[in-house]
Structure 1
Amino acid sequence: MDAAKDPNPSCKLHTRLRLWEFADRYIFEPIDGLADLYLSVSRAGGSMNLVEELPPRSPSTNPKVQTVYGVIGVLKLAVGSYFFVVTDRDCVGSYLGHAIFKVTGLKVLRCNDSLNTSFEQKKMESEISELLDAAEKTMGLYFSYDINLTLNSQRLYDVDDEFKSRPLWRQAEPRFLWNSYLLEPLIENKLDQYLLPVIQGSFQNIQAEVGSEKVNVTLIARRCTGRIGTRMWRRGADPEGYAANFVESEQIMQSKGYTASYVQVRGSMPFLWEQIVDLTYKPSFDLVRQEEAPSVLERHFKDLQKKYGAVLAVDLVNTQGGEGRLHERYAKSIEPILSEDVRYVHFDFHRICGHVHFERLSQLYEQIEDYLKKHKYFLLNEKGEKIQEQLGVVRNNCIDCLDRTNVTQSMIARRILESQLQQIEVFGVNDTITKYPAFDASYKVLWANHGDAISIQYSGTPALKGDFVRYGKRSARGILNDLQYSLARYYLNNFADGTKQVCS
């Protein structure tokens, strides 16, 4: 597949660096054979330059040394600069033939001369320490040294050779480049080989045997950097149309030499609304500048159409109470732009499915089956040639875009995967995943882990209703877990997420 082609060798990213911590500077020494120059960073102010050798060393200097695996970026503040470096990584699988790594260790290198700063600056430094500590604990960061992880398979296939020859940071989709702001100082210094693009989200993979064939399924979540933040502190959309908790989920299937991909998105209802955290269990929903709702929503959907083609909006919220007011605003605001390419379907998940009958989602599938078949999925044959492309996207939402949304997305993805396996004749015409118990069990866990990862990043807890996604049925234990997670979300929303929001 052309999309997996290596980038320009001169732009290859450093994969291993020896970090020397001298009294006056940090030195990054490439130990991967890609360059002879070292990156020197002043500890006094964060200025950067490339040098040909290490400073003289003696027993009295005794610099601390460790191996690091990339520079995520630099945060410049009034009190100094802060370098974020990857100290540990795990290889979690591959994306179109290239290794994907998860950040498992992140360290902040402080570049400020604390001996010469004023009392006010020292106070400010102390205040931001908590934020930097929170940043070091950021979850769900993934990267590749070789391939653009911010683009889904179909978009990656369609770019030309000139695009693929650029440094990875220049190829990145800004919406999903988690560290775009942090990379700016490195870009200014033309340090392409140190510019490591990172996404936040999830990367899951399973392998299964279906008869004599092997099936590999990868599931990637890419969180959008627009209107980023935590549950209740970030709701709705901003005036530009960026929606809170907007995530692109791509499911990739590989078998018999074929590669298929299907993309769905989730995001908060795309108009101006909010919840004010006030210690109540369910703060009331406030609609803001209601007269702007149609224009904000139109901006959001125009952007979706530009990137994905046709859009089917699946709204899963209640019709009663506060959720009902949001549903009415959504339905009314989207009405002027409904067309052949923008469709809206409301499915009252709680009324129809309750807390246990999630199999009733088949009723939703019956309503949208024609759309799914018409807009297809991306498919490459054994020669890496495109024989089909995805022409539209399903946009799912509930209130948090976590629990009901993940159950629904997993149902849609399952139906699409079955269609793909039928088309390439791994499955018979009427086969389903449930016919293969081991595959079925692994696939459920894949989507449950996907939902948990997104939920933890937005709400601080695993997803509710996860037992259905994980095991295919509701259980007493699952319902008790949901109660525990709900109480944990209440605590986090009111007493912890403020710091996380500032850090975001």
Structure 2
Amino acid sequence: MIYIPHESARVIHQDESRYVKMFQSIDLASNFYFSYSYDITHSLQHNLTEPKQFLTNNSEKSESDTLPDNNHGLLSSSVLPQRKEKQLFGIRTQPYEKFVWNLHLLSEARKADLHPDWILFVSHGFIGQSNINIFGKSVYVTLIARRSSKYAGTRFLKRGSNFQGDVANEVETEQMVHDSAMSSLSKSHCTSFVQMRGSIPGHWKQEMGKMVGKPAITIDFYDPFAETAGAHFNELFKRYGAPIYILNLVKQRERKKQESLLSDQFSSAVKYLNQFLPVDYQIVYKTFDMARKNKSSAKVLDHLAGIARSAVMKVGIFHNNAKYYSQVNGTVVGQTQTSSGSRQTGIIRTNCVDCLDRTNTAQFAIGKCVLGYQLCALGVLDSPILEFDTDCVRMLESLYEDHGDTLALQYGGSQLVHRIKTYRKTAQWTSQGNDIMQTLSRYYSNTFSDSEKQNAINLFLGLFKPEENQPPIWEFPSDYYFHHKPSIFSMKSLTQWWDVGVYKSLPYAYNDLTKSCSELIQVLSRDIEMIDSYLDFYRPYEFSVLDDVYGYKISNTVRDFMPSFTTNYSPFTVRVRPVKRREDVSQKGNTMKNPSVSGQSSTSSTASSTSSSNDGDTSEDDDSFASIESHKTTSKEASPEPATFKSLFPGTQESYGFEIKKPSQEDILLYKKYVLAGKRANGTAVNFLHSNLTTIRHISKFSKDSSLEVAVPTVKKESIEIYRNYVKLAKTGFNMPKHSDVEIFKLYAKLK
């Protein structure tokens, strides 16, 4: 923070120092991200979608301004006035404001019509990247979590939703997998999948008035027509399309109703909203009592795998290239109406009460299922089924552990308590001490420091603006009216709770079909300095140490997850071993602390828990999974088929679409004549070569060369003249052939 005016002009206010301290309590050095050359507030599918409209000066959309785009954001000069040389133009789009955290700080600059190059949008959340090394071929897995700036806050101070449908702890998680053989987004193979987490849309709270670990859940007021939930799902239809697949992980049966209150309210809201939608676009609502299943002997991750497969088959994934010929329909999922790949339509929305521990494990199960389909789309795998104890899945588990720890610190004040190993029941018993410390840390943060953190967030986002002769923010008993703006009575229908334009675009997302850009930018111009992503990343004109380059230090399946001594280098081979190499390194205290440099989150923790929450639930095991269509694969189905010659070496018909047949007898006789003619013509030369093999010696033209000096070889004048004519030919073009050459060619053609 820099004070611009001179010290003599400084006016010291009694509250200034406390406001400055509160503002600086937000650490801008971690978990805040920006990019000069890529819009991180939008998904990869939206960024690669061609724009349909151009915004005018008064920000009104005009259908007459529509220009085609066939290069994923690069417009050719064919739609613009023709010039002497071909021009290439890029587009500058507006960011998605929900995931921009410095919008209030940029408000004055945007009002003053400052040049966009001076305005940098910052997002909050998590970014992690890892490299799957497949026999030397690098496939990058990138995890981007975008935290919403609407109704943002800490755990017990922000629950449920506001009247505009913005829910607490709303995070959009995008899993991108791309082939690193080519860095261009428009030409390389890229896949992505978006899922989200968020609190149950409703008006409920948990007050930390008493010194208890779990405050009681209370409903502020009931919403019989589900207007708040309708506003929330209308926004999801607008951003992602249909269907919306809800995975509710809260408890279903309790002795004293707490979580089940929220589940009943959520279920009734979805039922009310669904009765006005057609069957194809209705919200899919599934419940899974994850805590109860974890207490029993049931395998939670196997149940979640069945849910994940059913959900992913409905929404699909995004892939920017067409599928291969040999790929069957079951390995590539998504809307494939065009020949240029597939699209994701819809979203998987996961929630528990806090949207932290259980939600992160469920999102990992979905991400594991999606990773199989993404690798199939890239042509790496033939089957989308991935086993748990493989280097590839261990790498993905590490990414989601860091992802969950970072979001838990931002919202709950501590790292994850119940981890993926907890629900797999593979955690070590020594990790229970770490779980106790994480629980105490979360309790201390929620009780004593969350209120100050919430004030800092409200100040940073501009929800509260200090004014003279007004009470400061710390004197307000609650920030309820900062986030719940008084709304004017709306005449919107209680049955048609969606926007008309959003409904007409289903199952596709309204934002993708009406994508607009605000400015054309000339690419690779000599007069305008453009951003080159390669130069911006590697900076070859500067001296840089290889160890400091982010792309070199990201986690690798070979370096961090593969055993030291192995003969099978495949990242998809099952390796049953108790401890990972990355865990060994982290236990020695050698983990990197800055996630933006090391590629590993500063919250990376390897401890897990086998403890389960001890509440007053009934001991009987109810089958809350009965309403879910399970696609669980048994161990017999998941076991690999025996290797045969046909499976190892598929025919050309299966791979490329044509079959190699045995040549005809006429072709064989013709080839025999060709071979005999070659033997007769070269027989003398071959015999001479064999008889003089002992006398042939290679004489080097560089016999005097050494590591210190190289002699320049002499080049004949004829060769130099040939090269000059070759260069001249590239500049001036072909010359007319001589008359004698034309006569020779005519004679040749006549004889032919």
Corresponding residue for residue 601 of structure 2: none
Residue identity opposite 1:193 in structure 2: D
150-159 or 459-468: bigger deviation = 459-468
CA 1:408–1:123 in 2, change beyond 3 Å: closer, same or farther? Answer: same
- Post-superposition CA distance 1:212-243 (Å, at most 9, x none): 53221000000011100111111100011100
TM-score by length of 1: 0.72
Residue identity opposite 2:100 in structure 1: L
Cα distance, 1:429 vs. partner?
2.3
Q: Distance in 1 between matches of 2:384 and 2:155?
A: 41
- How does 1:5-404 map onto structure 2 within 5 Å? 108-111=1-4, 122-136=13-27, 139-160=30-51, 171-189=94-112, 190-211=114-135, 213-255=137-179, 257-278=188-209, 279-291=211-223, 294-309=226-241, 310-319=243-252, 320=254, 321-338=257-274, 339-341=279-281, 342-354=283-295, 359-367=299-307, 369-381=309-321, 386-404=340-358
TM-score by length of 2: 0.49
Cα distance, 1:401 vs. partner?
0.6
Q: Distance in 2 between matches of 1:191 and 1:281?
A: 51
Which structure would you say has the larger RCO, counting Cα contacts within 8 Å and 6 or more residues apart? 2
CA 1:434–1:276 in 2, change beyond 3 Å: closer, same or farther? Answer: closer
CA 1:479–1:333 in 2, change beyond 3 Å: closer, same or farther? Answer: farther
Q: Distance in 1 between matches of 2:138 and 2:6?
A: 57
1:479 equivalenced with 2:432 (yes/no): yes
CA 1:293–1:368 in 2, change beyond 3 Å: closer, same or farther? Answer: farther
Cα distance, 1:329 vs. partner?
1.1
Q: Does the CA-based 8 Å contact 2:249-2:359 persist in structure 1? A: yes
CA 1:492–1:299 in 2, change beyond 3 Å: closer, same or farther? Answer: same
- Post-superposition CA distance 1:166-200 (Å, at most 9, x none): 986x6210111111111112212314222111110
Q: Distance in 1 between matches of 2:405 and 2:122?
A: 20
Corresponding residue for residue 442 of structure 2: 489
CA 1:334–1:431 in 2, change beyond 3 Å: closer, same or farther? Answer: closer
361-370 or 398-407: bigger deviation = 361-370
CA 1:333–1:430 in 2, change beyond 3 Å: closer, same or farther? Answer: closer
Q: Does the CA-based 8 Å contact 2:369-2:385 persist in structure 1? A: no
Residue identity opposite 1:485 in structure 2: Q
Q: Secondary structure at the match of 1:180?
A: coil
Cα distance, 1:469 vs. partner?
8.2
Cα distance, 1:211 vs. partner?
3.7
Q: Does the CA-based 8 Å contact 1:248-1:266 persist in structure 2? A: yes
Q: Does the CA-based 8 Å contact 2:45-2:318 persist in structure 1? A: yes
Cα distance, 1:361 vs. partner?
3.0
- Post-superposition CA distance 1:401-438 (Å, at most 9, x none): 11100000000110111122134331232652547x33
CA 1:471–1:325 in 2, change beyond 3 Å: closer, same or farther? Answer: closer
Structure 2: segments with no counterpart, 5+ residues: 56-72, 74-88, 182-187, 324-337, 458-752
CA 1:446–1:241 in 2, change beyond 3 Å: closer, same or farther? Answer: same
CA 1:147–1:282 in 2, change beyond 3 Å: closer, same or farther? Answer: same
270-279 or 173-182: bigger deviation = 270-279
CA 1:109–1:135 in 2, change beyond 3 Å: closer, same or farther? Answer: farther
Q: Does the CA-based 8 Å contact 1:403-1:463 persist in structure 2? A: yes
Q: Does the CA-based 8 Å contact 2:153-2:168 persist in structure 1? A: yes
CA 1:187–1:364 in 2, change beyond 3 Å: closer, same or farther? Answer: same
Cα distance, 1:471 vs. partner?
9.1
Query: Which protein is bigger by CA-based radius of gyration?
Result: 2
Cα distance, 1:299 vs. partner?
0.9
Q: Distance in 1 between matches of 2:236 and 2:314?
A: 18
Identity among equivalent pairs (%) = 27
CA 1:418–1:458 in 2, change beyond 3 Å: closer, same or farther? Answer: same
| Higher strand fraction (1 or 2) | 1
Aligned residue pairs, count: 392
Q: Distance in 2 between matches of 1:433 and 1:152?
A: 28
Residue identity opposite 2:265 in structure 1: R
Residue identity opposite 2:357 in structure 1: D
Q: Distance in 2 between matches of 1:349 and 1:392?
A: 24
Q: Distance in 2 between matches of 1:475 and 1:268?
A: 31
